[in-house]
Amino acid sequence: MEKEYILIKSKKYKLILLLDEMDFDYYTDVCVELVFDGQSIILFKDNLLSLKNITEQYGGNIVILDNNLDESKLGILLNNYYMSIYENEIQDNWSLDNQEYWTGEKYCCYVSLEYATWIYYYGGSIVMKVTPVFNGFENEGYVQEYYKFIQEYKDIFRGLFRYNN
């Protein structure tokens, strides 16, 4: 029997954890669902151990968004980075860490085939943002599809949590 736990609830949205309590261990499949504006999207679907690892990585260690990154364009930048990887054309203007990953990825706690979920500190608040991910690079004619995706691009969700020291 699947059980629902509300992780975060506000007037505008709620974040729900769904899991089967009858057969519960680290390898139990769990879902994290975001409900807002009359819609519902699955942000995470994997086993509990994977969710535990993500939570430990971000729990109490939310990073301040780098001033060199445009907060309003994080999703576009991520998709452009993925396109440059796919085309094997990482350019000098990408800020990469010592493992050759784009430094903006450290604010992205989970990426699925459809969505990227971001958590970072910005402007006096903790921000949780959900952005779309382009997943058609393997398609013939993906360049036209990608440019249409970018032209129509819109962040999916942005929630703020006030930070109190």
Owning domain of residue 55: 1-61
- Write down the residue that tokens 């990408």 correspond to: 94
Domain boundary among 17, 45, 61: 61
d(CA 101, CA 81): 9
122 vs 162 pLDDT, higher one: 122
Do residues 73 and 153 share a domain? yes
Do residues 97 and 72 share a domain? yes
Do residues 51 and 84 share a domain? no
Residues whose CB is less than 8 angstroms from the CB of residue 113 and which lie 6 or more positions away in sequence, other chains included = 133, 135
Q: What is the DSSP letter of 65?
A: P
pLDDT in tens, 98-120: 787 888 998 998 999 999 999 99
pLDDT in tens, 46-63: 988 998 888 887 766 788
The pLDDT of residue 76: 96
147 vs 88 pLDDT, higher one: 147
Question: What average pLDDT does the chain have?
Answer: 88
- What six digits make up the tokens of 130? 């959900």
Say if CB 162 and CB 125 are below 8 A apart: yes
Give the helix/strand (H/E) hosting 143: helix 142-151
Do residues 50 and 87 share a domain? no
Confidence of residue 78 (pLDDT cuts 50, 70, 90): very high
Do residues 1 and 69 share a domain? no
The pLDDT of residue 57: 77
Do residues 6 and 19 share a domain? yes
Q: Could you give the dihedral angle defined by the CA atoms of residues 61, 163, 18 and 136, in that order, rounded to the nearest 10 degrees?
A: -70
Confidence of residue 163 (pLDDT cuts 50, 70, 90): low
How many domains does one find in the chain? 2
Do residues 138 and 86 share a domain? yes
Residues 84-104: what's their mean pLDDT? Answer: 79
d(CA 44, CA 110): 7
Do residues 70 and 41 share a domain? no
pLDDT in tens, 23-47: 778 888 899 999 999 999 999 999 8
The pLDDT of residue 164: 56
Do residues 83 and 155 share a domain? yes
Domain boundary among 61, 76, 92: 61
Do residues 22 and 96 share a domain? no
Domain boundary among 9, 27, 61: 61
d(CA 104, CA 96): 9
Do residues 27 and 72 share a domain? no
Do residues 43 and 91 share a domain? no
d(CA 130, CA 153): 12
